[in-house]
Amino acid sequence: MKKSIQKFSVLLLALLLIVGMIPASVMAASTPTASYCTHVQNVGWQDYKSNGVMSGTEGKSYRLEGIKIKLDTQGYDLGVSYQTHIENIGWEADTSRGWKANDVMSGTEGLSYRLEGIQIKLTGADASKFDIYYQVHAQNIGWMGWAKNGESAGTAGFSYRLEGIKIVIVPAGSAAPGSTEKPFVKNTPTYGKLKVSYIDVGQADSILIQQGDHAMLIDAGNNDDANTVKNYISNQGVSVLDYVICTHPHEDHIGAMDYIVNSFNIGKIYLPEAMATTQTFQDLLTAVANKGMQFNSPVAGSSFMLGDATCTILGPIEGNWNQEDLNTSSIVLKVDYNNNSFMFTGDAEAVNEAAMINSGRDMNVDVLKVGHHGSTSSTTQAFLDATSPSYAIISVGVGNTYGHPAASTITRLQNNGEKIFRTDQNGTIVATSDGTNISFNVNPTNPVPVTPTPTPTPTPTPTPETPMDYTVYKTTSGTKYHRDGCSYLSKSKIAIMKSAAIAQGLGPCSKCNP
């Protein structure tokens, strides 16, 4: 008996030694489990589901807006990463949002943006031991095939919402939970025409973009241009504007926008966060509110579709604009149509151009709408090098008092080999793209800079200042100095001599030109 006990003890000790040599991951009790919950339209966050049970809805047409995924690792060295394709944003990894992991939300809350696609992958030392499968229920399609290990599931180019999802983890190489046929469907368009009309609104901007039955308006000229812009849009057979872009709150860009809002059905309207105190700006706010709409704020890197054209917001980049200089808040939009691309810059200035270059996003275009009517404030050589356009469009008024376009801007464009078009010489300019080639309704101009119309010199009011120096005004945090009465000047104005303002590094306001 004593020998039997000793023998058993030896066997038990040997077994314990063997067990101690086995890695924890090998000793795991069972296959890891993924738990997942979704944020559903009109419902909110649902409870967690697992083992291939659906999260979401069927038959209600409710969109998925967000998702969280976590693992019960069963002792394995595992994690989970995932990203979604979000309406108006695109794939998160293509923006500053990036991949999400381990129960962090992917998607949005409170924006009513649909999820259109998803990618999920396992991470960690034991990731190769398992496959993670996922299947989505897509609008107008139903349940699609199972995707796995970072593949795309859902759709692209259709604007279809995801309505449900199932996720399951299996040992690597195991059979899929179901059919893997077509887990992801991409709309490959048959390209028709993209038409871009740079409407002649004098010393202002207004651009109509049409693709198939879809249309977008960028800016609406001055207040006096209301009928010009409205009639041009109507004469193109457009009754619905899918998107309206108010690049920034200056009168020469949003002057007639309240009239446009009141005249057409509009899908979405974008406006930067910058504010103005003008009646023109207030009229726009009132028109949008009376229509029961809300403004969408631009997010650099986000995108949306206009028919078969992809529209990407490049600016303003957060933290790169100044309330005291509303030009710096300009929305900059790039429109890609198969192999052709266009850029619309509003009045973006050199500081914005540099930030967009530094963002690392694709800046190369065929057609550039030159910033700020060809002013010296924009269109730096570095920006031309980054965008490398073949054609340059300048929206400018005949005999304007600003001297736009600047001779230096024209020289840079000429030296770069761009063909230049100008609304003061060409009238309304229409560019048409078939996705490969671009044609224009007019020929390029002979690039002669505008000579400013002389303005009468006002009789000076006697002041104690010397003729070479006079009083201007600034704000506490502003970077510009202004004339008294300038619309950009806040109530908390501070009087300062012009020479002192220049010595402090302040620049002249582009509006009042002190």
503 has pLDDT over 90? no
Mean predicted lDDT score pLDDT of the chain: 88
What's the mean pLDDT in 436-447?
89
**Is pLDDT larger for residue 493 or for residue 327?**
327
**Is pLDDT larger for residue 9 or for residue 65?**
65
What's the mean pLDDT in 331-336?
97
**Confidence (pLDDT) at 286:** 96
**Confidence (pLDDT) at 23:** 43
pLDDT tens digits, 205-230: 999 999 999 999 999 999 999 999 99
Highest mean pLDDT among 27-36, 144-153, 491-500, 504-513: 144-153
Least confident of 54-68, 111-125, 184-198, 347-361: 184-198
- Whether a cis peptide bond, with omega within 30° of 0, leads into 316 is yes
Q: Which two tokens stand for residue 191?
A: 């390209």
DSSP string for 1-33: -HHHHHHHHHHHHHHHHHHHTS-TTTT--S--E
pTM for the full predicted model: 0.60
What's the mean pLDDT in 48-69?
96
The position carrying tokens 């890891």 is 32
**Structural domains of the chain sorted by starting position, each given as residue range(s) with its CATH number in brackets:** 33-186 (no CATH), 194-440 (3.60.15.10), 471-508 (no CATH)
DSSP string for 285-306: HHHHHHTT--EEPP-TT-EEEE
**Confidence (pLDDT) at 271:** 96
**Is pLDDT larger for residue 255 or for residue 323?**
255
**Confidence (pLDDT) at 184:** 96
456 has pLDDT over 70? no
Q: List all residues 6 or more positions away from 83 whose beta carbon is below 8 Å from its beta carbon.
A: 91, 92, 93, 97, 98, 99, 100, 106, 118, 119
State what percent of residues in the chain have pLDDT above 90: 72
In angstroms, the CA 216 to CA 482 distance is 35
Least confident of 117-121, 319-323, 352-356: 319-323
**Confidence (pLDDT) at 490:** 62
**Confidence (pLDDT) at 350:** 92
Cα 115 to its chain centre, rounded Å, is: 17
Angle at CA of residue 369, ends 366 and 371, nearest 5°: 130
DSSP string for 145-187: --EETT--EEEESS-PPEEEEEEEEEETTPPPSS--S-SEEE-
Cα 80 to its chain centre, rounded Å, is: 28
**Confidence (pLDDT) at 458:** 59
pLDDT tens digits, 256-315: 999 999 999 999 999 998 889 999 999 999 999 999 999 999 999 999 999 999 999 999
State what percent of residues in the chain have pLDDT above 70: 87
**Confidence (pLDDT) at 88:** 82
**Confidence (pLDDT) at 103:** 95
